[in-house]
Amino acid sequence: MASDSTTSRQPSALVALRHRDYRLLWSGQLISIAGSQMHTVALHVQVYRLAEAIPGANSAIFLGLIGFFQFIPLILLALRAGLLADRVDRRRLMIVTQSILMGLSLVLAVLSWFELINLWLLYGIMIIFFSAKTFDLPARQALIPRLVPREVLPTALSLNMIAWQIGNIAGPALGGWFVTHSIALVYLLDALSYGAVVLGLWQMRGNYAPTEVKPVVKGSLWEGLRFVSRTPIIWSTMVLDFVATFCGAATTLLPLFADQVLKVDEKALGLMYAAPATGALIAALAMSWFGNPRRQGMVVVVSVVLYGLATMVFGLAPSLPIALLGLAGTGAADTVSAVLRGTIRQLNTPDELRGRATSANMLFFQGGPLLGEVEAGIAATLFGAPAAIAFGGAICVTAAIIIALRIPSLRLYDR
The band of 225, judged by pLDDT with boundaries at 50, 70 and 90, is confident
Cα distance between residue 320 and residue 258, in whole Å: 9
Is the predicted pLDDT of residue 6 greater than 50, yes or no?
Answer: no
The beta strand positions in 69-136, using DSSP E, are: none
The band of 153, judged by pLDDT with boundaries at 50, 70 and 90, is confident
| 124-135: pLDDT as tens digits | 999 999 999 999
Cα distance between residue 231 and residue 405, in whole Å: 18
The band of 82, judged by pLDDT with boundaries at 50, 70 and 90, is confident
* DSSP code, position 260: I
Share the mean pLDDT of the chain: 85
Q: What is the mean pLDDT of residues 217-236?
A: 73
Question: Could you state, in order of their start, the residue ranges of all structural domains in the chain?
Answer: 16-203+219-411
Cα distance between residue 173 and residue 179, in whole Å: 10
Between helix 153-178 and helix 266-290 the angle, nearest 10°, is 170
Is pTM beyond 0.85 here?
no
Cα distance between residue 167 and residue 116, in whole Å: 29
Cα distance between residue 120 and residue 408, in whole Å: 46
Report whether 256 contacts 63 (CB < 8 A): yes
255 contacts: CB under 8 Å, gap ≥ 6: 44, 45, 48, 59, 63, 269
Q: Indicate the CATH number of 16-203+219-411 among 2.160.10.10, 1.20.1250.20, 1.10.10.10, 1.10.490.10.
A: 1.20.1250.20
Give the three-state DSSP class for 316: coil
pLDDT computed for residue 367 by the predictor: 81
Give the three-state DSSP class for 358: helix
Report whether 44 contacts 126 (CB < 8 A): no
Q: How many CB atoms lie within 10 A of CB 143?
A: 24
344 contacts: CB under 8 Å, gap ≥ 6: 233, 234, 237, 296, 297, 300, 413, 415
291 contacts: CB under 8 Å, gap ≥ 6: 9, 12, 154, 155
Q: Calculate the dihedral angle through the C-alpha atoms of 345, 347, 349, 351, rounding to the nearest 10 degrees.
A: 130
321 contacts: CB under 8 Å, gap ≥ 6: none
| 204-219: pLDDT as tens digits | 988 777 666 555 544 5
Is the backbone of residue 223 left (phi > 0), alpha (psi -120 to 50) or beta? alpha
The band of 45, judged by pLDDT with boundaries at 50, 70 and 90, is very high
Is the predicted pLDDT of residue 292 greater than 80, yes or no?
Answer: no
384 contacts: CB under 8 Å, gap ≥ 6: none
Closest by Cα among 66, 68, 125 to 253: 66
Provide the residue type at 297 as one letter. G
Share of the chain above pLDDT 70, in %: 93
CA-based torsion, 111, 112, 115, 117: positive or negative? positive
